[in-house]
Amino acid sequence: MRTLAAFALSTAAIAWATPTMAEPLRIGIIESLSGSQTSTGRLYAAAVQYGVDLINANGGFNGEPIEVIEYDNAGGSTGAADKFRQAVADGVHIVFQGASSAVAGQITEDVRRHNIRNPGSEVMFINVGAEAMSLTGEQCHFYHFRYATTAPMRVNALVNAMAAAGELGTRVFSINQNYSWGQDMQAAIEAAAAAGGYEVVEAVLHDVNTIQDFAPFVARINAADPDTVITGNWSNDLLLLMKAASEAGLDVRFGTTFLDQPGNIANAGDTALGHYLANNYVPAAGDPAFAEAYAAAVGHVPVFVEPPTIFAVGALGLALADVDFAGGEIDVTEIAKALEGVTYESPVGPISVRAEDHQTIRPVVVSRVARGTQYPVDDTDLGFEPVSVVAGPDAIYPVQASCEMERPD
Amino acid sequence: MRTPLIIAAVLVALAAVPPFLGLGLQNALVNVLIASLFALAFNLLIGQAGLLSFGHAAYFGVGAFATLHLMRIIEDGVIDFPTPLLPLAGAVAGLVVGAIAGFFATMRSGVYFALVTLAIAELFHALAPRWQGLFGGEAGLSSMRMPWGGITFGSTLQVYYLTLGWVAISIWVLWAYTRTPFGRLTLALRDNEQRVRFLGYNAHATKVIVFAVSAMFSGIAGALQATSNEVANYSLFSSHVSAQVVLYTFVGGSIVFFGPLLGAAIFTLFAYLISDLTRSWLLYQGLIFVLVMLYAPAGIGGIVQTHARHWQRLDWSRLAGPYALGGLGGGLVAAAVVFLTESLGVLFDEAYAVARRGAGGGYPPFEAFGIPWDPLSPVTWGVPLALFVVGLVLLLRARRAIAERWDAVRSAPAVPAAGPGPDARTASTQQIAG
In the predicted model, is pLDDT for residue B117 greater than 90? yes
Whether residue B139 and residue A134 make contact (CB cut-off 8 A), yes or no, is: yes
Whether residue B144 and residue A86 make contact (CB cut-off 8 A), yes or no, is: no
Q: Is B206 among the domain residues?
A: yes
Question: Which residue blocks in A225-379 are alpha helix, DSSP H?
Answer: 236-247, 264-268, 288-298, 306-322, 332-340
Whether residue A139 and residue B276 make contact (CB cut-off 8 A), yes or no, is: no
Whether residue B23 and residue A89 make contact (CB cut-off 8 A), yes or no, is: yes
pLDDT of residue B363: 83
Instruction: Fill in the DSSP letter of residue B416.
Output: P
Q: Is B14 among the domain residues?
A: yes
Decide: residue A125, CB within 10 A, 0-12 exposed, 13-18 middle, 19+ buried: buried
Contact residues on chain B for A298, CB-CB shorter than 8 A: 350, 354
Residues in chain B: 434
Q: Is B424 among the domain residues?
A: no
User: Do B51 and B199 belong together in one domain?
Assistant: yes
Q: Is B271 among the domain residues?
A: yes
Q: Is B418 among the domain residues?
A: no
How many whole angstroms separate alpha carbon B416 and alpha carbon B29? 37
Whether residue A77 and residue B233 make contact (CB cut-off 8 A), yes or no, is: yes
In the predicted model, is pLDDT for residue A199 greater than 70? yes
Specify the higher pLDDT residue, A11 or A400. A400
Of B5, B16, B56, B20, residue with least CA distance to B35: B56
Specify the higher pLDDT residue, B357 or B197. B197
Instruction: Fill in the DSSP letter of residue A296.
Output: H
Give the residue-averaged pLDDT of B373-387.
86
Helices A77-89 and A101-117, axial angle in degrees (round to 10): 40
Task: Confirm if A311 and A148 have CB atoms less than 8 A apart.
Answer: no
How many whole angstroms separate alpha carbon A211 and alpha carbon B123? 16
In the predicted model, is pLDDT for residue B196 greater than 50? yes
What does each C-alpha distance from B374 to A403, B71, B347, B377 come to in angstroms?
Answer: 56, 57, 11, 5
Whether residue A102 and residue B139 make contact (CB cut-off 8 A), yes or no, is: yes
For chain B, how many helices (H) and strands (E)?
A: 17, 4
Of A28, A126, A124, residue with least CA distance to A69: A28
The amino acid present at A163, given as its one-letter code, is A
Question: Which residue blocks in A95-172 are alpha helix, DSSP H?
Answer: 101-117, 151-164
- Nearest Cα of chain A lies from the Cα of B211 at a distance, in angstroms, of 25
pLDDT of residue A342: 93
**Domain tally, chain B:** 2
- Give the pLDDT confidence of B259-274 residue by residue, as tens digits: 999 999 999 999 888 8
Cβ-nearest to A34 among B126, B272, B282: B282
pLDDT of residue B413: 59
Q: What are the phi and psi torsion angles at A356 (to 5°)?
A: -65, -35
Q: Which domain holds residue B245?
A: 2-280
Cβ-nearest to B130 among A72, A110, A178: A178
User: Do B175 and B272 belong together in one domain?
Assistant: yes
Task: Confirm if B111 and B49 have CB atoms less than 8 A apart.
Answer: no
Q: What is the CATH number of the domain that holds B85?
A: 1.10.3470
How many whole angstroms separate alpha carbon B350 and alpha carbon B52? 42
User: Do B118 and B51 belong together in one domain?
Assistant: yes
Cβ-nearest to B138 among A46, A102, A110: A102
User: Do B90 and B35 belong together in one domain?
Assistant: yes
User: Do B134 and B258 belong together in one domain?
Assistant: yes
CB proximity list for B77: less than 8 A, separation 6 or greater: none
- Nearest Cα of chain A lies from the Cα of B367 at a distance, in angstroms, of 17
pLDDT of residue A280: 92
Specify the higher pLDDT residue, B170 or B276. B170
Task: Confirm if B43 and B250 have CB atoms less than 8 A apart.
Answer: no
Task: Confirm if B297 and B431 have CB atoms less than 8 A apart.
Answer: yes
- Nearest Cα of chain B lies from the Cα of A85 at a distance, in angstroms, of 7
Which of A210-214, B262-266, B318-322, B348-352 is predicted most confidently?
A: B262-266
Contact residues on chain A for B234, CB-CB shorter than 8 A: 102
How many whole angstroms separate alpha carbon B181 and alpha carbon B189? 12
Q: Return mean pLDDT, chain B.
A: 86
Whether residue B231 and residue A38 make contact (CB cut-off 8 A), yes or no, is: no
What does each C-alpha distance from B380 to B331, B352, B383, B384 come to in angstroms?
Answer: 18, 16, 6, 7
Cβ-nearest to A82 among B31, B140, B233: B31
Angle at Cα B68 formed by Cα B64 and Cα B71, nearest 5°?
Answer: 140
- Rounded to two decimals, the pTM is 0.83
Q: Which residues of chain B have a Cβ shorter than 8 Å from any chain A Cβ?
A: 22-24, 27, 31, 126, 129-130, 137-140, 142, 144, 152, 154-156, 225, 228-231, 233-236, 238, 240, 271-272, 275-276, 279-282, 350-351, 353-354, 357
Cβ-nearest to A89 among B22, B126, B275: B22
- Which structural domains are found in chain A, ordered by start? 18-149+286-361 (3.40.50.2300), 151-279+363-395 (3.40.50.2300)
pLDDT of residue B319: 82
User: Do B99 and B220 belong together in one domain?
Assistant: yes
User: Do B85 and B159 belong together in one domain?
Assistant: yes
Contact residues on chain A for B230, CB-CB shorter than 8 A: 109-110, 113
Of A313, A335, A315, residue with least CA distance to A324: A335
Would you say the C-alpha torsion B330, B433, B399, B319 has a positive or negative sign? positive
In the predicted model, is pLDDT for residue A18 greater than 60? no
- Nearest Cα of chain A lies from the Cα of B306 at a distance, in angstroms, of 35
Angle at Cα B133 formed by Cα B128 and Cα B138, nearest 5°?
Answer: 40
Whether residue B24 and residue A89 make contact (CB cut-off 8 A), yes or no, is: yes
Whether residue B137 and residue A178 make contact (CB cut-off 8 A), yes or no, is: no
Of A133, A138, A134, residue with least CA distance to A154: A133
Whether residue B240 and residue A76 make contact (CB cut-off 8 A), yes or no, is: yes
CA A15 from chain center: how many Å?
A: 43
CB proximity list for A230: less than 8 A, separation 6 or greater: A155, A158, A159, A172, A173, A174, A175, A185, A189, A254, A255, A256
Tally A–B CB contacts below 8 A. 104
User: Do B120 and B203 belong together in one domain?
Assistant: yes
pLDDT of residue A157: 92
Q: Is B35 among the domain residues?
A: yes
Pick from A233-237, A343-347, A379-383, B411-415: least confident: B411-415
Q: What are the phi and psi torsion angles at A319 (to 5°)?
A: -65, -40
User: Do B273 and B395 belong together in one domain?
Assistant: no
For residue A360, what are the β-bridge partners?
A353
User: Do B211 and B76 belong together in one domain?
Assistant: yes
Residue B126: CB atoms within 10 Å:
15
How many whole angstroms separate alpha carbon B258 and alpha carbon B349? 41
pLDDT of residue B416: 47
User: Do B29 and B172 belong together in one domain?
Assistant: yes
Q: Is B433 among the domain residues?
A: no
User: Do B330 and B270 belong together in one domain?
Assistant: no
Whether residue A89 and residue B27 make contact (CB cut-off 8 A), yes or no, is: yes
